[in-house]
Amino acid sequence: MIREFAMCAGLNMQSRLLATVLAFIGVFIMDAAYSQTQADLREVASSKTVIKVNDTTITRAEFDVIFKGAVRWKYYHGEVPEKELAEFQRQVAQDIVEQHITYPEAIRRGIKPDSERIKRGTDDYVKKYAAEGLSEETKNNLLSRQRQQLERRDVLVKLEQQIKSEIVPSQEEVKKFYQNHPERFTDPPQIRVASILLKVDPSAGGDVWEQTHNDALALVEQLKAGKDFAVIAKEKSDDKSAEMGGDMGYLHQGMLGANAETAIASIQPGEITEPLIMLEGVSVFKLLDRIHSTQRSFDEVSERARGLVKREMQERAWKEFKQGLKSKASIFIDESQFMPIPKEGDGVRIKVGNVNTPSG
């Protein structure tokens, strides 16, 4: 459950980061736009159209600024496989289209930016630019563009919130989701084990490992003769669980080594394993309890189920809303100007600083 939520959160965060970059559309990436020379501006004016949405065009030079900024935000200064970069280029193009169809819709709906939030955002940049010693004219130009960026981002976020806020799943939809996704409401199996670890230095020779294994066999004989596992663990174990009589608590699958889990799977609560070679030395395990995977009742997880189905329905509604706008728009994307996608493998790795946009 936690891993599933973290994955969703991770995907949403990536989407948010990219949306932040693409909020520069129309005013470009701030620093890159400011640093353009007159020659750069002439290139913008004369370069070919890469994207056209209704009456708005994005030239190759404009897309170059946007894409390189998006790459820096997503990959920082690392290296990116050619295939992944080419696919990301097309994703950026699609997101540009989406922003150009959603922003006018937000304005049509009368959505306005939060003036207080925009002021707080621009105040931060006022301090930043003041510290850099820029001229008044330069600061004013940058702040004007920054304000446009913040306002645009705020309006787009509000539109998404508006669409998603309309989604309220019914009790029947929540129950159906629970029934169709039992794995999301099932507690994984757990084992409670105790251990006795006889540590061996990793650099030790085979004779030391053999002697330690024999020592562990002697302990197993004592345990089989009836000596208390917890007592021996406190006396002999080098594991941090020794003071608890070797009790390691409840563990999920994968928390012990594969050989230990295989051995423990073959015994019943109260039984012990034979000595096992582990990374840190030789161990003997005792199975204290085994809890099989169990699906929680609907009453126990109804609120969590409601949250999950609502999030899925909201994402679907937002996607369908954008698709509806796309179907009514005139959209052109010239992929011939993009990096080709390698037919086999991932292609070469490209340094972020060496990214060229699009192909050619």
In this structure, whether the domain defined by 2-170+309-354 belongs to CATH 3.30.70 is answered with: no
Q: What is the pTM of this model?
A: 0.66
Rounded to an integer, the average pLDDT of 150-158 is 94
pLDDT for 126 equals: 81
- Sorting pLDDT into bands at 50, 70 and 90, what band is 346? low
- Could you tell me the residue ranges of all domains in the chain? 2-170+309-354, 189-292
Cα 10 to Cα 3, 17, 320, distances in angstroms: 10, 11, 22
Read off the pLDDT of residues 254-304 as tens digits, 9 standing for 90 and up. 899 899 999 999 999 999 999 999 999 999 999 999 999 999 999 999 999
Read off the pLDDT of residues 192-204 as tens digits, 9 standing for 90 and up. 999 999 999 988 8
CATH topology of domain 189-292: Chitinase A; domain 3 (3.10.50)
Between 74 and 247, name the one with better pLDDT. Answer: 247
- Sorting pLDDT into bands at 50, 70 and 90, what band is 353? low
Contact 195, 248 (CB under 8 A): yes
Mean of all residue pLDDT scores within the chain: 85
Read off the pLDDT of residues 161-170 as tens digits, 9 standing for 90 and up. 999 999 999 9
Rounded to an integer, the average pLDDT of 77-88 is 87
Question: What is the spatial distance between Cα 111 and Cα 5, in angstroms, rounded to a whole number?
Answer: 31
pLDDT for 281 equals: 94
Cα 312 to Cα 10, 86, 102, 161, distances in angstroms: 15, 28, 20, 14
CATH fold match for the domains 2-170+309-354 and 189-292: no
Question: What is the spatial distance between Cα 34 and Cα 30, in angstroms, rounded to a whole number?
Answer: 6
Contacts 24+ apart (CB under 8 A), 170-174: 173/309, 173/313, 174/302, 174/305, 174/306, 174/309
Question: What is the spatial distance between Cα 261 and Cα 279, in angstroms, rounded to a whole number?
Answer: 14
Residue 132 has pLDDT above 90, yes or no: no
pLDDT for 259 equals: 93
pLDDT for 2 equals: 30
Read off the pLDDT of residues 309-332 as tens digits, 9 standing for 90 and up. 999 999 999 999 999 999 999 999
Read off the pLDDT of residues 35-67 as tens digits, 9 standing for 90 and up. 444 444 445 455 799 999 999 999 999 999 899
- Sorting pLDDT into bands at 50, 70 and 90, what band is 220? very high
pLDDT for 236 equals: 94
Residue 251 has pLDDT above 50, yes or no: yes
